[in-house]
Amino acid sequence: MKTIWLTVDWDFFQEERVEWDWSHAERGKMYSELVWPTRAFFGGEDIRPITHPNRHAPGYADFWKLLERADFNAAQEIAVAGSHAMAWPYFHRLSGDGVPDELWNFDAHHDLGYTRLQTLRSWVKEEKAEAGSWGFALLKKFRALRYRHIRPRWRDLNAEPTPWIGEASVAKRVTRISASEFVAEPVRVTGIFIAKSEAWSPPWNDGYFTEFLEAGAEATGLPLAVYGDDVTHERLVDEGAVQALGRFIAGQVSAHEWLKRSEFTDKEKP
C-alpha cells in the first residue's frame, strides 16, 4: 500500500477572486483580521456567501469522505498550525520514522516557491522554508518523495508563477490536479498537517474550521495537536461594523477604482 503524508490548507475551501486580492502576508493582525471587514463588501457585493467553505465540492463538511479508504493507524496526531511554514519542520521531524512515497497537499496554492529559483535554492542550503516554499524544500531534501498538489475546482492552474519548474529534479516529481480529478485510493497515512492560513481565510468561517478539525479527529481517530499560536480560537466578527463599513465602501469607491490602486493589486504570494 502506498504511504503518504497528508496536508490541508484551510484556504482550499474558500474561493478567492483576483479583484479581492489586496495583498496577503502572514504578519500580525493586519492581514488576518483588520482587512477582512473591508473585503466583506468588495465593490458593494457581500462576498461572504461566495467564500462559504461548502460552496464548492469537496466542501469542508464532506472532505474526510475523500479519505475513507485511508489507513490512519500509522499516524500519531493531526498537527494544526497557523501557517504552512511550519510544515517543513514538522514533516522533517516525521522523516525520522521514514519518508513516505508521496505528500498530498490540498491547497489553493502550490507552495513550491514563487520567488526566483536561485533564491529557492539558497534557502534550501540554509535549511530555510516559508509558507510559499516548504514544498520545494521537502522535495529537495527527500529525493524520492513525490508531491501531489490537489487544487480546488475554482482555482486556475495558471494563476501562480512556477519558477520551480526550472529545477528538473523537483518538477519531475510534482503532479498537479484539480479536486474534480481526485480519485480516492487505499493509502497508509503516516503524518497529517492542517494550516489555517488566516491571512487567506475569512474570520466569518472560523466556526466551520472548528467543525472541520473535529470531523477530522472523528474520521481518523487521532488527537488534535496545536503547534505555535493557538489557531483553534475563532476571530470575532462585529457584524454591525462590517455592514457599516461595507455600505461606506460601496458608496465611496467602486470596485474598478480599487483595482486601479497599485497598493491593492501588488500581490504578496503565500
pLDDT in tens, 225-261: 999 888 988 887 767 766 666 666 555 544 445 445 4
Percent of all residues in the chain with a pLDDT value above 90, rounded to a whole number: 67
Higher-confidence position of 18 and 117: 117
pLDDT of residue 194: 98
- Given a cut of 50, whether residue 265 has pLDDT beyond it is no
- Given a cut of 60, whether residue 98 has pLDDT beyond it is yes
pLDDT of residue 60: 97
pLDDT of residue 22: 60
128-136 average pLDDT score: 94
218-223 average pLDDT score: 98
pLDDT of residue 28: 67
pLDDT of residue 250: 54
Rounded (10°) CA dihedral 244, 249, 252, 257: 180
Mean pLDDT across the chain, nearest whole number? 87
58-71 average pLDDT score: 96
- Given a cut of 90, whether residue 199 has pLDDT beyond it is no
